[in-house]
Chain A
């Protein structure tokens, strides 16, 4: 049956190719705009969030920093804490919702939300775990020597 309509096969094949091409280009365009455009400045550090506070206004942006020990106040469905950037800038955070399982003092987090007065109103906490894979082993030398790393990178 394909042998019979062989001469006219080129035309619909070509059209299908164009349609497939257009769909692919549209999908890639969406991914690029949705993703990479946003991803190149995926988050602002706590230092940047403080220095660019005026410009940011009440726009949504992602905020990155390490959870400052001793500042975490958890209540059901709500948690307040401070995050600190590598440059020492700190931001007061109020988060609506429960924090993820690995949320703990000193861990770097990426938050989603906006400036609300002097505090950052967050509605999503993402824990930015590092590429550190050390066993929970009590007799580690650096546990006694003291941790050489503070915050995250």
Chain B
């Protein structure tokens, strides 16, 4: 009775395995090389956190950017497909993880350098807001309704929430903040960034991009699996009800 498509489980692909291995390799290299960075004049050993903190924030931007683009693709009737809604949801969830990690690593960095775990400056506040916005997006997705209504509603919410991404990024230029300015804003030969710092930071960006890609693929697969089992559960429930009805009729 079940449709053949239901029986095909979304399997872990070879691409995901290769991407996962590359992500792990890049991540380990970033950590090893990051820990090997020389202490800086101003911050001493704490400056090494630059290897992971800005790349985590970048991965969060990327994740929410993908959510915004796939949300537009869903909203536009000519490109509307369920796959865009699934990608948007998966990417937002991964983005929330990266945003939370950005806040955690930033806090750990802030305590020894600034002297405080947290302060309400524009960069920190807008980042906390970003986390709240996308947690709200995920909560909205949890509201029971039909698939299309949920997809449309969350796509609009995603487009509202994503406005905060450029606000976070440029907050250090638009307002006075405790947070430092953008590290890669001026890459000139007279840059305040030593070459080794630039190199490890770029490696970090690459590593987090790969980690994001791998998490997105795997989260998407779980999403597809959930839908598969929901459909299967519904089919089974229908079968059982039918069998009960037949039993009643037969008596």
A and B associate in one complex: yes
Contacts of A38 in B (CB 8 A): 120
Q: Which one, A103, A128, A130, A133, contacts B194 given CB within 8 A?
A: A133
Q: Give the contact stretch, choosing among A52-60, A76-84, A134-142.
A: A134-142
Enumerate chain B interface residues (CB-CB to A < 8 A). Answer: 38-44, 47, 50, 112-116, 119-122, 124-126, 128-129, 132-133, 136, 139-140, 143-145, 175-178, 180-183, 185, 192-194, 196-197, 237, 241
| Contact across chains for A134 and B122 when beta carbons are under 8 A apart | no
Q: How far is the CA of A37 from the CA of B106 in the complex (A)?
A: 22
Please report the total number of A residues contacting B with Cβ < 8 Å: 43
Contacts of A130 on B, CB cut-off 8 Å? 42, 180-181, 192
A-B contact count (CB 8 A): 141
A residues bordering B, Cβ < 8 Å?
Answer: 3, 9-10, 13, 16-17, 20, 24, 27-28, 31-32, 34-36, 38-43, 64, 99-103, 107, 110, 124-137
- Known A24-B136, A40-B175; contact A34-B114, beta-carbon cutoff 8 A: no
Q: A16-B143, A100-B115 are in contact. Are A133 and B197 (CB under 8 A)?
A: yes
A133 to B195, CA, bound (A): 9
Question: What is the bound-complex CA distance between A3 and B185, given in angstroms?
Answer: 56
- Report, nearest first, the 5 A-B pairs whose CB atoms are least far apart: A100-B115, A35-B125, A135-B38, A132-B192, A39-B122
Given A31-B129, A132-B41, A136-B40, A20–B194 Cβ distance below 8 Å?
no
- Please name all residues of chain A whose beta carbon is closer than 8 Å to the beta carbon of B194 when the two chains form the complex: 133-135
Determine if A20 and B140 form an interchain contact, defined as CB atoms under 8 angstroms apart: yes
